[in-house]
Structure 1
Amino acid sequence: MGDYNGSGTLPRHVDRKALYTDLEARVRYLQQFIGFTADDVIALNRGSKYIKALAPTLVDRVYSKLLEADITARVFQTRSTTSELDVDEYPEFKSPYMQCRRMFLRWYITRICSDPTKIEFWAYLDKVGRMHRGKDRMISFDVEYIHIGACLGYIQDVLIEGVMGCEKMSLPFRVALVRALGKVIWIQNDLFARWRVGDGAEFEMEIEAVHENQEPISRAASAKANTRDRRDGEASSVRSTWSSRGDSASIFSDRQSTAPTSINIGSQEVAADYPACPFSPDHAPSYETRVWSDADSGRCSR
Structure 2
Amino acid sequence: MATIDSTQEIDPDLLRASPEFRAAYLTDFLNFGREQQDSLNKVAPLVNDKIPAIVDDLYAKLFEFDITKQVFLERNQGFDGPLPSRLEDLTLDSAQLKYRKVFMCSWARRILTADYSSPKTWAYLDKVGIMHTGVKSFKHRTNTKPLIVPYRDCALLLARAESILQTAILNLSDDQLSMPEKIAAVSAVSKVIWLQNDFFSRHYINE
Q: TM class by shorter-chain length?
A: 0.7 to 0.9
Larger radius of gyration: 1
What is residue 115 of structure 2 aligned with on the other side?
A: 115
Higher helix proportion: 2
Matches within 5 A, 1:72-83: 72-78=68-74
Q: Percent sequence identity over matched residues?
A: 32
Partners in 2 of 1:145 and 1:88 — Cα distance?
21
What is residue 190 of structure 2 aligned with on the other side?
A: 182
- Asked whether the 8 Å contact 1:156–1:185 carries over to 2, the reply is yes
Amino acid at match of 1:192: F
Structure 2 runs not aligned, ≥5 long: 77-84
Partners in 2 of 1:37 and 1:115 — Cα distance?
10
1:90 Cα shift? 4.1
Structure 1 runs not aligned, ≥5 long: 81-85, 200-302
1:62 Cα shift? 0.6
Partners in 2 of 1:190 and 1:6 — Cα distance?
28
What is residue 126 of structure 1 aligned with on the other side?
A: 126
Q: 1:142 aligns with which of 148, 163, 166?
A: 148
The alignment covers a number of residue pairs equal to 189
What is residue 64 of structure 2 aligned with on the other side?
A: 68
Q: Structure 2 length as normaliser, TM-score?
A: 0.85
RMSD, matched Cα: 1.9
1:124-171, Cα deviation, whole Å (9 max, x unpaired): 111010000110144752111110111011101101111111112111
Is 2:156 aligned against 1:160? no
What is residue 97 of structure 1 aligned with on the other side?
A: 96
Matches within 5 A, 1:251-290: none
1:10 Cα shift? 3.8
What is residue 20 of structure 2 aligned with on the other side?
A: 24
Return closer, same or farther for 1:17/1:61 CA change in 2, 3 Å cut-off: same
- Asked whether the 8 Å contact 2:125–2:196 carries over to 1, the reply is yes
Is 2:54 aligned against 1:54? no
- 4+ long deviations beyond 3 Å: 86-90, 137-140
1:79-122, Cα deviation, whole Å (9 max, x unpaired): 69xxxxx9453420122332222111111112212222211111
Partners in 2 of 1:10 and 1:102 — Cα distance?
46
- Asked whether the 8 Å contact 1:73–1:90 carries over to 2, the reply is no
- Asked whether the 8 Å contact 2:32–2:191 carries over to 1, the reply is yes
- Asked whether the 8 Å contact 1:126–1:192 carries over to 2, the reply is yes
Q: Structure 1 length as normaliser, TM-score?
A: 0.59
1:189-228, Cα deviation, whole Å (9 max, x unpaired): 00000010111xxxxxxxxxxxxxxxxxxxxxxxxxxxxx
- Asked whether the 8 Å contact 1:40–1:176 carries over to 2, the reply is yes
Q: 1:41 aligns with which of 9, 34, 37?
A: 37
User: What SS does the aligned partner of 2:88 have?
Assistant: coil
Amino acid at match of 2:3: G
Amino acid at match of 2:150: E
User: What SS does the aligned partner of 1:39 have?
Assistant: helix
What is residue 230 of structure 1 aligned with on the other side?
A: none
- Asked whether the 8 Å contact 1:59–1:102 carries over to 2, the reply is yes
Partners in 2 of 1:143 and 1:97 — Cα distance?
16
Amino acid at match of 1:28: A
Partners in 1 of 2:132 and 2:75 — Cα distance?
9
